[in-house]
Structure 1
Amino acid sequence: MAAALLVVLGLVLSIESGSGAGSNITTSKLIVDSKTRLTCTLDSSDTAILGHRWTKGDKVLQEDSEPDLTTQYEVDTHESAGQYFCTFLSEPTGRTAGVNVEGPPKVKAVKKSEHATEGETVVLACKSESFPPVTDWLWYKINDNGVQIFNNASQNKVVMSSETKTELHIQNLDLEADPDEDTGSAPLKSSGHMNDKDKNVRQRNSN
């Protein structure tokens, strides 16, 4: 009996990064070999520039005390997708602009395997760390009959998704109709505008 595969597909939409939040700060990105160089340029300043700071989320990535109107920061092109912020330090307040770095989806199985018995509810879950974030998830099963897509209209299947996580709830588990221990690895696939990524999840039955 051929193995039945459970696959989840995350689709991301491309978005364009624009100018910084400050009206007189312009931003740009330049790919140099395996790096992406982020640049912020302040057109003019009525106060002395005391330095620059680059951040991502709550983390300070780089800070200096140079007085220049331009600041740069390099990131790994394929591993550092996300929103970066450059700040020109001055008194009384600094000026900040954002730079968006797009990258391939990073999809992971929350748990690589699940154990269940007849009649129980099984939850298969995957999470995504990507920018832009995932907008659509698709769970489907591959077997000898082709591809079977699961949604909330499917019998005993419920899909719950957000930008960062998706769950497939298999209710009242039927060991004959639903995938079992013999299915082996189930590829978890996420496709975006950058490329595709495959991960594995597995469902097992407890005896």
Structure 2
Amino acid sequence: MVFLENIENNGSASLAYLFWMLENILKACADDFGDSFQGVVKTSYVSGLINQVEHDFLNNKTSGVRKLRNVFAHANLSKFNIKFSGDELIYPLTENENCRLLYQRISKVIFNIMLKAAVSRLSVDFSINVDKEIKGLGYSIVELSPEEVLLGKGIDPSMLSGWDDLSESERYRHAENAQDVNMVVHFISRVQHKIE
């Protein structure tokens, strides 16, 4: 866990290692390193190692740790964004600061689940309950198409010659790297306003 503190400035790496550590601690407790993340979480629940709220937080395939883990392990991050309850903004997972924000919000809950699992084999009366914290996290994972990414930057993809000939990965890459026209227009209008 000290290692995670040292790489916390790299948001996506700290999240990937956090998920890896969680999975391996649960596998060690289950004494089954061949199981999938989904399987070891279910085994942990059935054995009583984790409760229903923790299970649902970890194994939810649309917004839980399972989904986040799979996004960081297998997906094009350009598609995925985080939206926090009560916040109209979406936070692209391609940006380091957004991954750091997500890490800050979920890591304490996950650390406590790992601690709960790690001490389960000891003869120690140690109670950890993170149900309230889990219920208060309030985030969702939002997928955007490359066209939606461009439209959010003020660019109409139907006006781009050859756009439809690009692969999905190329469209995401171009959309991610495109300048935000809305910001440029805002900047020019502010400069123009100061000149007048």
Q: Same fold by TM (over 0.5)?
A: no
Task: Give the alignment's TM-score, normalised by structure 1.
Answer: 0.25
Higher radius of gyration, 1 or 2: 1
Identify the structure with the greater helix proportion: 2
Identify the structure with the greater strand proportion: 1
